Chains A and B, each alone.
Chain A
Amino acid sequence: MNHQRVRQALAAPRRLRTTEFVFWLATIAAYVLLPERSLLLNETAILGLFALSLDLVLGIAGIVSLGHAAFFGLGAYTAGLVGKIGLTEPVLGLLVAGTAAGVLGFATSFLVLRGSDLTRLMVTLSVSLVMLELANRLTSLTGGADGLQGIVIGAVLGTFEFDMFGRVAVAYSLTVLFLAFLLARWLLHTPFGLAVRAIAANPLRSAAIGIPNNRRLVGIYTIAAVVAGLAGALLAQTTQFVSLDVLAFHRSAEVMLVLVIGGTGYLYGGLVGAVLFKLLQDQLSDLTPQYWQFWLGLIFVALVVVGRDRVFGAPQALWRRIRSAA
């Protein structure tokens, strides 16, 4: 009997929750009902995927990074170049970009194994600065400050041609986001995912129960780099342009902000944060095209002061009260 209980308890965290269905249904609804907001939706999906990647590193593995744009940017340039040399089918470019970012992630993962959070921040930041400078200098490859132009993107899987309203682009980005999310969610509940969470919680003990901490961290960092590379590739493919901006520091900082707003460690944080960030950005830049960043910053400071749990917890508490009253 205890065996049955243990089996059920081990399987429980994996079960899909109602809120998760609601979240993805709302995503589909946004796609169907808001065709005129395709651009915004596409940007949100890409930012969400990028933040999901950072969540694997920061939220799940506990590695702080201020240079996550290195992988995003490499993915973007790789996808752009693949398109430029005539391999125009986007899924192929996506896979190549993910692989390239993964290789960079693996190679640089050894740098973040050692040291404190502070050294990790410095090392990750440095890697992204090196990548930015490389992209700036290798003008024949990247176009340097002019950006990578002449990217040709064909039909997705040879069937779905990108249209001028961006409908196919959004569907493509959301599909990649959804699949990547499913993979990340699966990963979280594998023995590997559990081991990584244990390392983040208490590296002393995880080592003492025999988990090779460094190898597991290399693994998760590499996987996260692949996901960031996919996000970069989506941007390059759906906009058919890559500039140095994809490697810029503000991108690394922005994605961390997005993730922290949404909450770390439960995978939806990056997505929720991306929706909130993009909506606010969109609304505020309509209201005050010049000062939207000021208001955005102010709102996020207020969010921190009031406490995220109280802001997002309020609807939940209300719902609970309604249910208990009924």
Chain B
Amino acid sequence: MTVALETRLLQRRFGGLIATSDVSFVLPVGGRYALIGPNGAGKTTLINLLTGVLRPSSGEILLNGVDITGTRQDQRVAAGLVRTFQINQLFPAMTPLQSVALATARLLGLDGNLLRRLDRNQEVVQRSVEVLERFGLMDVMSQPVATLAYGRQRLLEIALAVACGPKVLLLDEPAAGVPEGERDGILTGLSALPRDIAVLMIEHDMDLVFRFAEHILVLAAGAILSEGSPAEIAADPKVREVYLGHA
């Protein structure tokens, strides 16, 4: 098993509060992991630590074996660690195509370029088509993002991250706000992701978690309470107690 993302005794304190407490986990290359936990368990803090929005008080983060604990957000993206957001973070006035092409341009190191034209760049065009097709966004590619239906925007939220060419993809509640009937579209897009991308999904929707994840981490009070296969987690009495409720 090759390791894609690893944390070692990651800790983050806010004054006296320990939001993340000695979190150590290993996400293998191509892994399909889910991170669950009740509200206030520290999921958001953990994702902010992983992406570089917050600095840990102590501990290490390794991406493909390289220590990235002290690096900036954009450097982590360049190294292949990309996230999506629980609440859509898009570019409302731009089109899905422009958004995806920009992310692709960044991946190719062109985002500071003053001379090149994106439409003349074979690779930008090729990759943009791939991503838009994968998430079924070709038909709306030239409409302003703000005018898209919510479900489409949710798909673009993920498509934008995929366009960055991630090795590790952090999905922050990908199905948040998507009505029951449209969740299959999200799952279809996710299951079509290439196997060399490792995915860590944070999600409340247990149905989606159990259909998508091969391995589940349970976070409670900032620490990892339990981890294992979906079957093991479903059967774990500790997890039932804090999370699934007393049945």
A2 on interface, CB distance cutoff 8 Å: yes
B77 on interface, CB distance cutoff 8 Å: yes
Interface string of A1-26 (1 = CB under 8 A from B): 01101111111101000000000000
A206–B85 Cα distance when bound, in Å, is: 12
B126 on interface, CB distance cutoff 8 Å: yes
- List the B side residues contacting A6 at CB < 8 Å: 97, 119, 125, 128-129, 132, 141
- List the B side residues contacting A208 at CB < 8 Å: 51, 73, 77, 82-83, 85, 89, 161
For residue B194, give the distance in angstroms from its CB to the closest CB of chain A. Answer: 18
A190–B105 Cα distance when bound, in Å, is: 10
A201 touches B118 (CB 8 A): no
A191 touches B105 (CB 8 A): yes
Name the CB-closest residue of B to A193. Answer: B114
- List the A side residues contacting B118 at CB < 8 Å: 10, 191, 194
Known: A2-B138, A191-B118, A195-B106. A210 touches B92 (CB 8 A): no
Q: Per a CB cutoff under 8 Å, which of B73, B112, B126, B160 touches A192?
A: B112
A215–B91 Cα distance when bound, in Å, is: 19
A219–B112 Cα distance when bound, in Å, is: 9
A138 on interface, CB distance cutoff 8 Å: no
A259–B245 Cα distance when bound, in Å, is: 58
- Bin the interface of chain B by size: 35 or more
A-B contact count, CB below 8 Å? 130
B107 touches A210 (CB 8 A): yes
A216 on interface, CB distance cutoff 8 Å: yes
Which residues of B from 114 to 139 have beta carbons under 8 Å from A? 114-119, 124-126, 128-129, 132-133, 138
A215–B74 Cα distance when bound, in Å, is: 11
Interface string of A184-204 (1 = CB under 8 A from B): 000101111011011001101
B115 touches A190 (CB 8 A): yes
- List the B side residues contacting A190 at CB < 8 Å: 113-117
B111 on interface, CB distance cutoff 8 Å: yes
B90 on interface, CB distance cutoff 8 Å: yes
A198 touches B141 (CB 8 A): no
A187 touches B97 (CB 8 A): no
B contact residues vs A (CB 8 Å cutoff): 51, 72-74, 77-78, 82-83, 85, 89-95, 97-99, 101-103, 105-107, 110-119, 124-126, 128-129, 132-133, 138, 141-142, 160-161, 163-164
A-B pairs with the 10 shortest C-beta distances?
A: A210-B77, A10-B119, A205-B89, A11-B119, A191-B105, A201-B91, A195-B111, A209-B103, A191-B113, A191-B110
Known: A197-B91, A210-B78, A210-B82. 14 other contacts (CB 8 A): A3-B125, A6-B132, A9-B95, A191-B105, A191-B116, A194-B94, A197-B93, A198-B91, A198-B102, A204-B85, A207-B74, A209-B164, A210-B77, A212-B74
